[in-house]
Structure 1
């Protein structure tokens, strides 16, 4: 077994956090094997990567026992780990006649990012593209970009460096993305005279858009119904319902607009009549326009 310990400049974990990422011979829980167990944790106030590489199938059980030891009383942080890493590890535990585990506390960063996908367009949902949100540019060994080569290296186990480096970069990115929810909250918030509030729900049903915001302050209850919008405020919950129209912006983009009664500047690369405000472009809601619209409406009634 090859073991590596690397100190990194991680600043996002608590003492009870454990970042987890694994490399396997394939995706089939029944027949594929665990090759590499990668962890990130805090030791004596510093953040370290720990990697355990099985040089053949007989060493898989060593990695599984390390996994069982390390996860005790920890919050497990992964990227898509709820769907892959944890189920795969449990399958291998059962195969090795060990008991599966069901961590009480987990954070799957993939799920967090997926929940905000209606507001942000990504190149893909792969970690190598998501990490670009916070300025990480992947520098894996060039040959590791080829999936066929990756599979060959894992199966032969005679070239561990590319696999270890790839896993190291995955671990660094996952640790850096641990507080990604703060990134989204900042992006989806706006300051107003009633205090800061942020957008967290969006849905369009035919010609009505339903949007929900949460404020940092408790407000007086309010109900307003105008020609093309309805505003409901209760404590710190703000609901905005607006009439929307569906149409084609250009050859590539379709979406929804509303009447721009407040002369809001469209925050979009798409040119459109100034009397209209873009609400959604294809499947992505224009959160900047929605925040500015809600701010105008709220400040008009408080």
Structure 2
């Protein structure tokens, strides 16, 4: 077994956190094997990457035993780990007649990205693209831009360095993205005379949009119903129900609009009649317009 320890900044995690990323011979839980177990943890005020590389199938159980030892009483941080890493590890534990482990506290960054993706458009939601949000430019060996090359080396295991480097970069990016939800909440917030609030959820059913906001402050209850909108405020919850219309925004884009009762300037690259406010552009909700609309409505009635 090859093992490595690498010191990193690790500013986003604490002693209760354990960042996890694995490399395998493939995606089949029953047939494929664990090749590399990668972890990030805090020791005192310093953070380290620990990597354990199985040079053959017989060493897989040693990696699993390390996993069982390290995971105890930790919050597990992964990128898509709820779908792949944790189920794969449990499958391999069962294959070695060991008990599977279901961590009591997990943070899957991919799930956070998917939840907020209705407000943002990305080149892709892969880790290698999402890490660019926080200024990480990956420096994997060039051949690892093709996942088939990584799988090929995992099968032969005769070139461990590129696999270790790829895993190291995944771990660094996952740790750095572990507070990504704070970035989303900050971006999706607006200041108003009642304090700061953020948009949390958005859905459209036919001609009615339902939008959920959360306030930093506890607010007085409010219920307002006008011709094309309804606002309900209860404590820190703000619900906006809005009548919307679907149609073509220009030659290339479709979406939803509402009547622009408050003369809000559309914050969009799409030019549209000033009497209309863009609510959704193709598959992405225009969170800036929604925040400004909600602010105007609240300040008009509060």
Q: State whether TM-score is above 0.5.
A: yes
TM-score, normalising length from structure 2? 0.98
Matched with 1:49 is: 49
SS in 1 for 2:154: helix
Tell me the CA shift for residue 99 of structure 1. Answer: 1.4
Deviations 1:154-184 (A, max 9, x none): 1111111111111001000100111111111
SS in 1 for 2:277: strand
CA distance in 1, matches of 2:262, 2:240: 15
SS in 2 for 1:116: helix
TM-score, normalising length from structure 1? 0.98
CA distance in 2, matches of 1:116, 1:28: 29
Tell me the CA shift for residue 202 of structure 1. Answer: 0.9
Matched with 2:290 is: 290
CA distance in 2, matches of 1:143, 1:170: 16
CA distance in 1, matches of 2:289, 2:231: 16
Within 5 Å, give how 1:188-227 maps onto structure 2: 188-227=188-227
CA distance in 1, matches of 2:203, 2:109: 23
SS in 2 for 1:273: coil
Matched with 1:110 is: 110
Matched with 2:138 is: 138
CA distance in 2, matches of 1:34, 1:88: 8
Deviations 1:2-38 (A, max 9, x none): 1111111111111110000000000000110000000
Structure 1 residue ranges without an equivalent (≥5): none
CA distance in 1, matches of 2:100, 2:230: 51
Matched with 1:299 is: 299
Matched with 2:281 is: 281
CA distance in 1, matches of 2:288, 2:135: 21
Matched with 2:94 is: 94
Matched with 2:163 is: 163
Deviations 1:186-219 (A, max 9, x none): 0111000010111112111111111111111222
CA distance in 1, matches of 2:182, 2:247: 34
CA distance in 2, matches of 1:49, 1:244: 50
Deviations 1:93-144 (A, max 9, x none): 1111211111111111111111111111121121111112222121111011
CA distance in 1, matches of 2:29, 2:43: 32
CA distance in 2, matches of 1:91, 1:180: 29
Within 5 Å, give how 1:61-100 maps onto structure 2: 61-100=61-100
Matched with 2:255 is: 255
Aligned length: 302
